[in-house]
Amino acid sequence: MKKLVIFDLDNTLLNGDSDRNWGEFLAEKRIVNDDYLLRSEQFYNNYYEGSLDIDGFLNFCLEPLKNNEMDLLLELREEFIEKKVKPIVLPAALTKVKEEMKDSTVIIATATNDFVTKPIANLFGVEELIATEFEVANKKFTGQVLGLPCFREGKLQKVTEWINLNGYVLAESRFYSDSFNDLPLLEKVREAIVVDGDEKLLREAKKNGWSCVSFR
C-alpha cells in the first residue's frame, strides 16, 4: 500500500488563510458588516496566540452561512475561489502536492470548514479532505457542527479515524504544516515537515529535529 502524506491548508499550501479571506470577501459583498470583520481579526489573532475558542469561532463562522440561502452561498463561493483563492495558491506547494501524489496517497486536513475548503482541495487535485464539517439539511445550513472540529487534538482524532477506516498507518505518514496548533498530529507522524512555520512551531522543530521548508 502507498504511504500517506497529509497537508495542512491555510498558510501551508496557501499564502494566506482561507477562512479569514472568506470573511473579508463576504464583507466586500455586504453579506456581513464591519463588526464581523473586527471579530474575525480577533479570532485570527487568538488562533496564532494559541488561545482560540474553537466553539465560539465556529458559531461565528456559521452566522453568514445559516442566514443565507444555499444558492447565493454557492454563487459567492465560486467567485471567492476565482478572485481570492486562486491568486494565493503557492506554485511551490502545488508542485510538492503533485510530486507526493506520484508515490503516496495525499489528503488535506484543515480546521477550516468543508464548505469553504472542498473546492480549494479540488484546485490541488486532492480528493480526500478532512475538515470541520457543518451540517446541512434541506439545502440549508442548520448552524450545527457535525462531529469534532478539525482543530488541534480534534484534527489528530479525525485523521486517525480516517486512517483506521482506510488502512494506513499514522506512524508511517508524513505531515506538512505551518502551525503550532497542529503539534498533536505532528508529534504522531513518522516525518513532520514544518512549512514557513510560526515562531512556536519553529522552536519545536529545532527541538525535535524536524525538517523546515518554505513554499514561498
Active-site residue set: 8, 10
State the Cα–Cα distance between residues 80 and 5, nearest whole angstrom: 27
DSSP state of 131: E
d(CA 17, CA 112) in angstroms, rounded, equals 9
Instruction: Return phi, psi of residue 47, to 5°.
Output: -60, -45
Kindly report the backbone phi and psi dihedral angles of residue 124, in degrees, each rounded to the nearest multiple of 5, phi listed first. Answer: -90, 0
Please answer whether residues 173 and 3 qualify as being in contact, where contact means their C-beta atoms are separated by less than 8 angstroms. yes
Sort strands 128-137 and 140-146 into parallel, antiparallel or unpaired: antiparallel
- 46: helix, strand or coil: helix
